[in-house]
Amino acid sequence: MYLATERTTPHRLAERVSYDRAAAHAILDEAYVCHLGFTAPDGPRVLPTLFARIGDVLYVHGSTGSGPMLALRGGGPVCLTVTLLDGLVLARSQFHHSANYRSVVVYATATVVTDEAERRQAMDALVDKVVPGRSTETRPPSGRELAATAILAVPLSEVSVKARAGGVADEPEDYALPHWAGVVPLGLVRGVPSPDAGVAVAVPEPLRPAGSPWLSPAVLRGHHVVLEPLDVCHAADLFAALDDAEVHRYLPRGRPGSVDDVAATIADMLREHAAGVRVPWVQRSAATGEVVGTTSYCPPDEANRSVHIGSTVLGPHRDQHRGQAAADDAGVRAPRRGTGRVADRRAQPALAGGDRAAGRHPGRGAAAAQAARRRYLARLGLLRHDRRGVAGGEGAAHLPASPWRYA
């Protein structure tokens, strides 16, 4: 527990204030931005800045020529605050509108960090605060960059936590008013990462949008193909693998004219993934490791424990036998026998609606089309055969509870 001081003792709503160390640390670790208050030569200032915590010390950084660093180059008193807004509380009366929040107020004397080891440790912490482990995946600051950066240490010695969590607190006579009232939850959610030009590696796992395990692609290994999570960095390989008129003859999109066109298509697929309507993969040859196409499950239905295979695109293969094997594995058929070419048949209903699947495979019945999809999932280890049967009939194929873990 932090000790209460005159400055951290509340004058009202004392029940919302605490001095719990763990609660303060949790709020500070969740927040990205703090507001640093200090006194400049021309008067008081409050500025937003990124920060990081190591133990009971907060670190903020900036250019050696910035306002805070010039004002505090010899150290000085500061007030640092952090607020997380968790919800808007809408009451029937204007007076009782409020917010659910968690906040920390810190009073301290900031000092400039001069020890190089501590400075580098603080820089690592600031980067890791943005993304855990990021400091090991990036170039550390050079001596010149470090010399141009000032770092302030703010000790956590005089600290208070204030929070509100709950619903509406209207006056008794107002509960009969015909106005909507309640809580609107708020939260910070990561969007779909947008890679910088020239990036040739996949988006790191911590940056991928969080969601259901059914929406979390993992590497899946089959007899003929390996599926790995699709990323914009695959654009160049996919452009080369699918640069064939016969492939795009069966696709609703036009044939891409450049790697950038493919990258834009992948970005659209990743946005659909973030929206929960598609789980996209890139396909690699299990024999050579080269990119040969894409596939998706769309949409995954966690409630009914089912998926549809759709938008499977495989490019032409150099080896006819391997191309036909990949076609069999993916549950699609080459448009012309003897060519080794494999194109998308857009078999949307993989496990349900076999009649439509049969319609896209002339000469094949619905049962055969559905069986091909099941063979594909079984080869990837995503299906098991339940001899006890379920509502769909005896010996129906079922997805395990967490399908993407079977790599």
Q: Which pLDDT does position 206 carry in this prediction?
A: 78
Q: In 316-347, which positions are buried (b, 16+ CB within 10 angstroms) versus exposed (e)?
A: bbeeeebbbbbbbbbbbbbeeeeebbbbbbbb
Q: Which residue has the higher pLDDT, 388 or 244?
A: 244
Q: What pLDDT is attached to residue 312? A: 85
- Given this model, what pLDDT does residue 378 score? 55
Summarize pLDDT for 268-305 with one digit per residue, the tens: 888 888 888 888 999 999 999 999 999 988 877 888 88
**DSSP one-letter code for 320:** H
Which domains, from first to last, does the chain contain? Answer: 14-185 (2.30.110.10), 205-405 (3.40.630)
* Mean pLDDT, residues 85-95: 96
User: Structure tokens of 357?
Assistant: 């699947």
pLDDT of 363: 43
pLDDT above 60 (res 351): no
202 vs 395: which has the higher pLDDT: 202
Tokens representing residue 246 in the block: 């016969």
**Top-confidence residue, 346 or 130:** 130
Out of 20-24, 185-189, 211-215, pick the least confident: 211-215
Q: What is the pLDDT of residue 385?
A: 47
> Which tens digits make up the pLDDT trace of 193-223?
888 888 888 888 778 766 677 888 888 898 8
**Lowest-confidence pick of 187-196, 208-217, 236-245:** 208-217
CA 156 – CA 20 distance, rounded (Å): 12
Q: Give the pLDDT mean for 360-377.
A: 52
Q: Is 88 helix (H, G, I), strand (E, B) or coil?
A: strand
| pLDDT band at residue 112 using 50, 70 and 90 as cut-offs | very high
Following CA atoms 125, 50, 201, 243 in sequence, which dihedral angle do they give, to the nearest 10 degrees? 170
Residue 399 CB-half CA count within 13 A:
24
Checking if the pLDDT of 376 tops 80, the result is no
- Give 19 or 402, the one with higher predicted confidence: 19
The DSSP-derived string for 240-286 is HHT--HHHHTT-SSPPP-SHHHHHHHHHHHHHHHHTTS-EEEEEEET
DSSP conformational letter for 131: S
This prediction's pTM: 0.65
Res 337: pLDDT: 28
> Alpha helix (H) ranges present in 331-365?
354-359
pLDDT, mean of residues 333-350: 31
